[in-house]
Structure 1
Amino acid sequence: MSVKWGLIGASTIARQFMINAIRAQSDGEVAAVMSSSPERATAYAGENNILLAVSTLDGLLGADIDAVYISTTNELHLEQALAAVRAGKHVLCEKPLALSSSDARKMVAAAKAAGVVLGTNHHLRNAGAHRTMREAIAAGRIGKPIAARVFHSVYLPENLQGWRITKPEAGGGVVLDITVHDADTLRFVLGDDPVEVSCFTQSAGMAGSGLEDGAMCIWRFKSGVIAQSHEGFTTKFAGTGFEVHGSEGSLIASNVMTQKPIGSVLLRTAAGEEELSFDREDLYARSVRQFHTAIRGEGRPAATGEDGIWSLTAAEAALQSASSGKAVRIDPKLGSMN
């Protein structure tokens, strides 16, 4: 049985990664694309060999599709996901799931009630580097985890700037764009939940309209691990990385906070240094494969709707901390709390 996908949003990310990821599956087909601009929908469909182009959500949801991939601007996710769920379609939604964790919880509840699969496209969970780090930590190879650091400050290319740096109402800013990923990746790799965050944000010259284009966060986890993360849109030469330091060793990963299956992971212990090998499968192809497995009732998406609630609640708490100047507690059932 093939899974026919409809794309909600004629986006760059779908063109660069998701269309190929769906077509890489033996049971995957990109059947339709929707853009609010009929001209853009038609042009995008032609460029990407998609048979059906529509300019309304009803037009897409009425087509012969089984699942939707939502990659529109953040303020549209809630309404589009709920409509897809009502139409009985499975939903893979870009992060953040919505503009607020309360809206994300509505999406998760609706999907559960309708018996459809809802996934959050936290692509970094699918990286071989991050899964290898998670496995090494779970196997005790660095002893008891003590601290972690994430370096995820990049330079946002001009073609992606747009709403991310100009529209607060669309969920712009670096925290909802990148901190949300780092919260999820820390949670995934450590196998631990964040319970508190302190955050400083900055506007270093790219973002306007009161939005932040840089953030530094300190996270406290349930186990007592403390972590720091740096997110940015304005650092052209920074490079990315992820370190986890434990009582018996350290994991040092370089160039791994990326959409591509690249980078390296080094394990450093009393025995010396060992470069860990990991699979180089395309992150998005693995995400779609996991999602298809979940549709068949044989597993879960790589990141569930609940995972999306966690990461959005953590990002909300970071924004609240930055505006209040105080540490903020994180509770995905209740939202962030002072």
Structure 2
Amino acid sequence: MSVVDWLLDADPAIRWQVLRDLTGAPAAEVEAERARVATEGWGARLLAAAGPDGLWAGGACFPAGWTGEEPGQPWTATMHSLQTLRLLGLDPHGAAARRAVALVAAHGRWEHEGQRYFDGEVEPCINGRTIEAGAYFGVDVAPLVQRVLGEQLADGGWNCEAERGSVRSSFDTTINVLDGLLEFGAPAVAAARRRGEEYLLERSLFRRLSTGEVARPSYLAFAFPYYWHYDVLRALDYFRAAGAAPDPRMAEAVEVVRAKRQPDGRWLQDRVHPGRVHFALDAEPGAPSRWNTLRALRVLDWYDGRLP
């Protein structure tokens, strides 16, 4: 079985993206496969996991009643579930998505101070992901976009610790905001996106600007789902989706991706972010990962100029 055939022997959420990004299949075939996300496999299971009020696990960022005493961060609440539905490619115009998002808008409140869900809260890492989901599903998040634009730091990125005095950006917060601004897509955010992208590029996507050292070893380990976490595969896939031209400053990160390709042409799941989940979306650490393989292949095709 070829790597592409192995990827196609999977959930509709993977199949439609393989058809679009790796095979150049006709648009009608891609859209027909994508439509199955709402009714089959992971997409249908995740939609069914929402409560009667439309919230997942009864909370916005954390499950209702979460005490913080279990290992890791639980990933079952509404923010993580909406992000996952976007990554699966649930049709934002379909009836299932419209119903789900309307219920979140009506009932979702942030744990911070009870703010309405799509109004966001105070941390740009959370607000970036809220913008991403809101813009994808057709919610007006323009006021929240204006907030994060005003929170961009002098070095070009963002940091959730800025409200506590930090003046240095973080890779993790910056990629979350960039994903949101990319999904929002208005020309008014283009300059802010460029500055955020430069923050990453100046650091070769994973190095400290001050010393050139690897900022965190975890940035070189690929995980899916990634939730709020940064790694270089996520960053490269952002630049690919943004339609950016390959930049020489990405080259070292691209070689990290190439080096992780296994002799059989697949990529492994390097790690899984610990915490409660509705169900597994990918392999255990050390096993071949369809999501990492799909993302790595399309990143390399983009970087090497082999788009279908």
TM-score normalized by the length of structure 2: 0.30
CA radius of gyration, larger in? 1
Q: Which one has a larger percent strand, Structure 1 or Structure 2?
A: 1
Q: Which structure exhibits the higher relative contact order, with contacts defined as CA atoms closer than 8 Å and separated by 6 or more residues?
A: 1
